[in-house]
Structure 1
Amino acid sequence: MTKIVHVVGAIIHNEEGNILCAQRSASMTLPGYWEFPGGKIEPGEIPQTALLREIKEELHCDIAVGQFVEETVYRYDSFTVRLETYFAEIIKGTPIAYEHSELKWVPFKELFSLQWAPADIPAVERVIQQCKKGFTSN
């Protein structure tokens, strides 16, 4: 039986339609891949509470958690990830990469210019669809 890791990710956006992307550091699994910041859901936590805690720990920011985006189950070689993602906005602080090697604000249309961790790809696709609906004025 493969170990299942339940994690949550924040799709932090700004008013211009840019999304905060985080590059995994050399000390993390899948180093160099990009992901949405977040982390493990602790026993007894709901995803939204875990997201508030993780973003405070990882980026030293306070966020408002918004709409649910995507749930993905992805099997890596040695474990399986269950990733739940939510839109979020920073309400206090400026994100600083304490655990990641780099943070980057990326226009939603250019998200696929980054090399994403496989578990994050369905959420990236959903974000692009959602942002096209919300940010285009046709």
Structure 2
Amino acid sequence: MERSIAGLAEREGLYFLAKRNPGGDLGNKWELPGGKIEVGETPEQAVIREWFEEMELNVQVGSLLSSGHFTHHNKKFLLEMYRVEFKDDPKVLHEHLEWGWFSPEEINDLDLAGSDRIVLSAFMEAVEPDPKLS
């Protein structure tokens, strides 16, 4: 099984997503920036590398927020989503058309990559307040 990583940034209750360039299986889909872990890399190193390669952003990596399994082209993957923080907004997009900050409700309406929907849903369910406790 291959491992992939993604980073989730949050500011004031909004979450950062980027829309992929056209082409390929994920063309024009919204996603959490990330990718495959290379040989010899830790997941945290992979997050830092991927965010810099995709948007030239220097990020700080926090804790593992959620994970999930998915299959792509008959290959099994484990996707791990880590918290990330960064100061400046992206000025360069190498793999994406656009980016934005979205509320959980807005994310539900986006054409999101399936693997990212798995980890985001698990995360959102864990952080939503329990109505029985309100």
Post-superposition, which runs of at least 4 consecutive aligned residues in structure 1 deviate over 6 A?
none
Alpha-carbon offset, residue 122 of structure 1: 2.0
Q: Choose which of 109, 112, 118 in structure 1 pairs with 2:108.
A: 112
Higher mean alpha-carbon deviation, 79-88 vs 56-65, is at: 79-88
Equivalent residue of 1:84, what SS? Answer: strand
Alpha-carbon distance in structure 2 between the residues aligned to 1:18 and 1:64: 18
Equivalent residue of 1:61, what SS? Answer: coil
Alpha-carbon offset, residue 67 of structure 1: 1.9
1:126 equivalenced with 2:122 (yes/no): yes
Give the aligned partner of residue 43 of structure 1.
39
Alpha-carbon offset, residue 8 of structure 1: 0.6
1:9 equivalenced with 2:9 (yes/no): no
Alpha-carbon offset, residue 66 of structure 1: 1.3
- Alignment RMSD (CA, Å): 2.0
CA contact (8 A) 2:79 2:119 kept: no
Over the matched positions of the two proteins, sequence identity in percent amounts to 28
Deviations 1:90-131 (A, max 9, x none): 14x322322112211112332111111111112221332355
Stretches of structure 2 that go unaligned for 5 or more consecutive residues are: none
Letter in 1 for 2:99: L
Give the aligned partner of residue 60 of structure 2.
64
Equivalent residue of 2:94, what SS? Answer: coil
CA contact (8 A) 1:109 1:128 kept: no
Alpha-carbon offset, residue 55 of structure 1: 0.7
CA contact (8 A) 1:21 1:104 kept: yes
Alpha-carbon distance in structure 2 between the residues aligned to 1:103 and 1:34: 8
> How many residues are aligned here?
129
Give the aligned partner of residue 94 of structure 1.
89
